[in-house]
Structure 1
Amino acid sequence: MSSFTQPVPVVACGRIPAMGKSISQHLLPEYEVIHFILSYEAAEAELPHLLAGRDPQSRSPNEIGTHDYSRPPRAVIFGRGYEPKQVEELKQKFAGVTKEPVAWVRGNPADLPAGAAGPEYAQNVAADMKKVLKKWRDGGGKGEEILVY
């Protein structure tokens, strides 16, 4: 199992680039977003490459994430714009692609904050993501269940 002393590489999936960029920054220093995916279709095309530790050759690249594909991601994190069913489908579709277990993390759509997402929203969401990932890591980082923040 890989060491958790350096930032853990993760893939983030979201619908809003500005939010993804902000959340990516708030996940540091524990988690390094190596790639940001903007749609379900892109996730279907890019995740098998990313999970295998390869450059996904994205058709719609963005500046979010480090694009360091030297280590495969240990988690795939979805924003609340993705339906729970979509996350489950992707998890099932790519089961067994990785050498090490991967945490699949999704938001609970029922927990959306009221009103517009202010500047503290990204910080709060990143903190919630870190909590569920810390629990997974503290448990040995071996499970592949879907974690909900």
Structure 2
Amino acid sequence: MATITSTPVVLCGKTLEVGEKVTSLILPEIEVIHFINSYEDAKAHLGDLLAGRGPKTPSSNHIGTHDYSRPPRAVIFGRAFAPADVQELNRLYRGTGKVPVAWIAGDPAVKPPAQPGPGYAEKGADNVKRAFFKWSEDGDNNEDILYY
């Protein structure tokens, strides 16, 4: 019987509660190895994570496996991450990984709710999976930002 190998990713979101739920909902196909919840942390740690190293300082949260033995294949941003921050991080770090990385972010035209309600994480997880699988099917080497 074949074993499903999950794809390692970095997940960036503003709230731990939504990040934790999305992390569990995208399994087993996609494995969050590290969760980042601020632009400052993303700027400080993405370079090391994309290079296949763990962050220089331990994660401040429990979300994700913290298994850095395989480099991430995607950096995924929740809708609450500012579009300008996503664009800046992509500009700084695209092409720096050991392998090509999908940059997946919420469509800037769709504003996140002030308080995520029931079904919010589930819808986000579905959107993330769909965007990642489309990137994979399209050749898995484009590092432009893909919006869901």
Do structure 1's residue 22 and structure 2's residue 11 form an aligned pair? no
Partner of 1:95: 94
Q: For residues 128 and 66 of structure 1, what CA distance do their matches in structure 2 show?
A: 21
Partner of 1:70: 69
Which structure 1 segments of 5+ residues have no match?
Answer: none
Q: For residues 48 and 89 of structure 1, what CA distance do their matches in structure 2 show?
A: 13
Aligned-pair CA distance for 1:109: 3.7
What TM-score do the two structures reach when normalised by structure 2? 0.91
Deviations 1:34-66 (A, max 9, x none): 000010000000000100111103365210000
Aligned-pair CA distance for 1:84: 1.5
CA contact (8 A) 2:52 2:98 kept: no
Do structure 1's residue 80 and structure 2's residue 79 form an aligned pair? yes
Partner of 2:51: 52
What TM-score do the two structures reach when normalised by structure 1? 0.90
Q: For residues 81 and 51 of structure 2, what CA distance do their matches in structure 1 show?
A: 23
Q: For residues 22 and 55 of structure 1, what CA distance do their matches in structure 2 show?
A: 23
Q: For residues 113 and 13 of structure 2, what CA distance do their matches in structure 1 show?
A: 19
Partner of 1:119: 118
Number of equivalenced pairs: 145
Which structure 2 segments of 5+ residues have no match?
Answer: none
Code of the aligned partner of 1:68: D
Aligned-pair CA distance for 1:116: 3.9
* Deviates most, 67-76 or 131-140: 131-140
Percentage of matched positions with identical amino acids: 50
Q: Name the SS for the 2:87 alignment partner.
A: helix
Code of the aligned partner of 1:89: E
